Chains A and B, each alone.
Chain A
C-alpha cells in the first residue's frame, strides 16, 4: 500500500525561527518520487521540490532545504529563518513509476507569527 504521513497537523513558530516539517512515506515500489507543495491561503498549489528515489542527495534552495533518507522512508522539509509569508499548508506527496497519480499526505499547517 502507498501512504504518506505528515504527523504534524499544525505548527506555530515566531518569525526567524527554523522549522522542520516531517514526511514519512510507505511504498513497496523500488522506484518512486516525492514532492513538496505549498498551499497558501489563496488556495493554489505551489510546487516546491521533486526528488526521485535514486537521488538521495539533500537539496538546499535559499531558506528551504530537504532531507531525503530512504533508510527511514522520510523526506523532511526545513525552513530556515521563517517569515510570515511562509504561513501556509504544506503537502508531501508520493508518486510511483507505474502510474502518474500522486498520494498526498494530510498536510501541515504552518503559522509564522511576526
Chain B
C-alpha cells in the first residue's frame, strides 16, 4: 500500500507563473489536508478537503491560492501568480475519514516550491 504521494518533489517557478502541486492520498483515503512550512517555521494548516468538497479553508490565503479534490484523480493545490514569499514546503496528509481521536492522518514527503 503506497503512502501519500506528492509531486513534484521540487518545483521552481518564476514570479508571476502558476504552481500546481499534486497529492495522491493513500488508497481508500477520501480526506486530504494541506499544510505549508515557511523557511525555519513549523507547519501551518491551509485547507481540508473531502472528495469534491472543501470542508475547512480557514488557513488559505485569500487570494491566488485554491485547492480541489476531484472525484477522480489527485488533490491539487494551485498557486497563481507566485511571489517569492510563496517559497515554502507544502505538505499533504490523508486519512480514510476525518482525522481525529481514532483516525490517523499520514503525511506525504512534501513539495518544495522555490520562486525565483
Contacts and interface: CB of A to CB of B under 8 A. Distances in A.
Decide whether A and B are members of one complex: yes
Interface of A: 4, 6, 31, 33, 37, 43-45, 47, 50, 52, 91, 93, 95, 97-107
Contacts of B104: 50
Interface range, B side: 20 to 34
A104 B46 CA distance: 12
B5 to A, nearest CB: 12
Contacts of B12: none
B89 A100 contact: no
A43 B56 contact: no
19 contacts: A33-B100, A33-B101, A43-B89, A43-B110, A47-B106, A47-B107, A50-B104, A99-B98, A99-B100, A100-B98, A100-B99, A100-B100, A100-B103, A101-B33, A101-B48, A102-B33, A102-B43, A104-B44, A107-B42
Interface string B58-94: 0100000000000000000000000000000101000
